[in-house]
Amino acid sequence: MIDFRKFIKSMSFAIQGIVSMFITENNARIHLLATTVAVAAGFYFHLSSNEWLWILLAIALVWILEAVNTAIESLVDLVSPDFNPLAGKAKDIAAGAVLIASIFAIIVGIIIFIPKLSL
């Protein structure tokens, strides 16, 4: 049987996780600023449906990987509070995933917005 109360409780924990990410992570706040600018520019330039899909894909990828990166950082700090090269490697690779998504988002933004600026 489906337990909707349990589902709503899980959603509320997930939202708490996202809120705590904004409070503790400077990078998440930078992503929020970039998202706000991209969405505002999207409305200003009246993007097509296809253009919106690319922008939303880029935003979602960055957010998803930032959330996973933040979770990995917390777990690493929990299991390895002392210096350990493996802990550093885990954090650096997780941060690398965010960087890859961010570069993808910047390229999408350039491809979509630069031609509109020069018109």
User: How many Cα atoms are found within 13 Å in the side-chain-facing hemisphere of 44?
Assistant: 10
Residues 6 or more apart in contact with residue 117 via CB below 8 angstroms: none
Shortest-Cβ-distance residue relative to ligand ATP: 88
> CA–CA separation, 115 vs 45, rounded Å?
11
Residue pair 62/31 in contact (Cβ under 8 Å)? The answer is yes
Of 51 and 80, nearer to ligand ATP (C-beta) is 80
Two tokens at 109?
């933004």
Residue of 67, 75, 95, 97 that binds ligand ATP (CB under 6 A): 95
Determine if 20 is a binding residue for ligand ATP (CB under 6 A). Answer: no
CA distance 93 to 72: 10
Count of residues interacting with ligand ATP (CB under 6 A): 11
Interface with ligand ATP, residue 25, by CB under 6 A = yes
Asked whether position 52 contacts ligand ATP by CB under 6 A, the answer is no
The answer to whether residue 73 is catalytic is: no
Interacting residue ranges for ligand ATP, rule: CB under 6 A: 25, 27, 73, 80, 83-84, 87-88, 91-92, 95
